[in-house]
Amino acid sequence: MNHYLNKAKEKNSQTFSFVRFHEDYVNSHIDDLISKPLHGAPIGLKDIILTKGYISSCGSKMMKDFVSPYSATCFETLEKNGGLMVGKTNMDEFAMGSSTETSYFGKTINPHGINRVPGGSSGGSTAAVAADLCIAALGTDTGGSVRQPASFCGIVGLKPTYGRVSRYGVQSMASSLDQV
């Protein structure tokens, strides 16, 4: 796990996939998660997914210091099964975009070329996986925000059946269409 965390921190300047890393979270949870099904697998989380005690800014200056008082159900499920949050991935501000160029924190670059956008709004998540900075990442998809950037970055992105994955604790854009 520390290999992925160190690699992500070192190489993030090439893609700007992550807006922040959570080394303290990794170090405090790795021993508990290693014995679970995902064995402490390094996972990126889109910055719109709430995590108790950590900043979730939705790619926005307005929320750049917002520390969530609770965690999203999808994150709790991931954690319960041994997934380890490396950090929060970049995104179009409030998930309103298709290129991951509108984040307050800067634009994400497709790892396949500096002149290519990674797609959006979950472009930070897909670019992080494509650049091998984590083995998987959670994003959100309303109208293609996981599937489109996954195709731009040469990886697989899934939008589960509506209601299959809880959206509780995920900042919404269009709650009747949003999926994790």
Residue 163 burial by CB count (10 A; 0-12/13-18/19+): exposed, middle or buried? Answer: exposed
Spot the catalytic one: 98, 103, 121, 125: 121
Tell the residue number behind the tokens 């990886």, with chain if given.
155
Q: Specify whether 145 is catalytic.
A: yes
Q: Which two tokens stand for residue 68?
A: 């969530």
Spot the catalytic one: 17, 46, 60, 98: 46
Q: Specify whether 159 is catalytic.
A: no
* Contact yes or no for 91/120 (Cβ under 8 A): yes
Q: Specify whether 60 is catalytic.
A: no
Spot the catalytic one: 56, 60, 71, 145: 145
* Contact yes or no for 7/133 (Cβ under 8 A): yes
Q: Please identify every residue annotated as catalytic.
A: 46, 121, 145
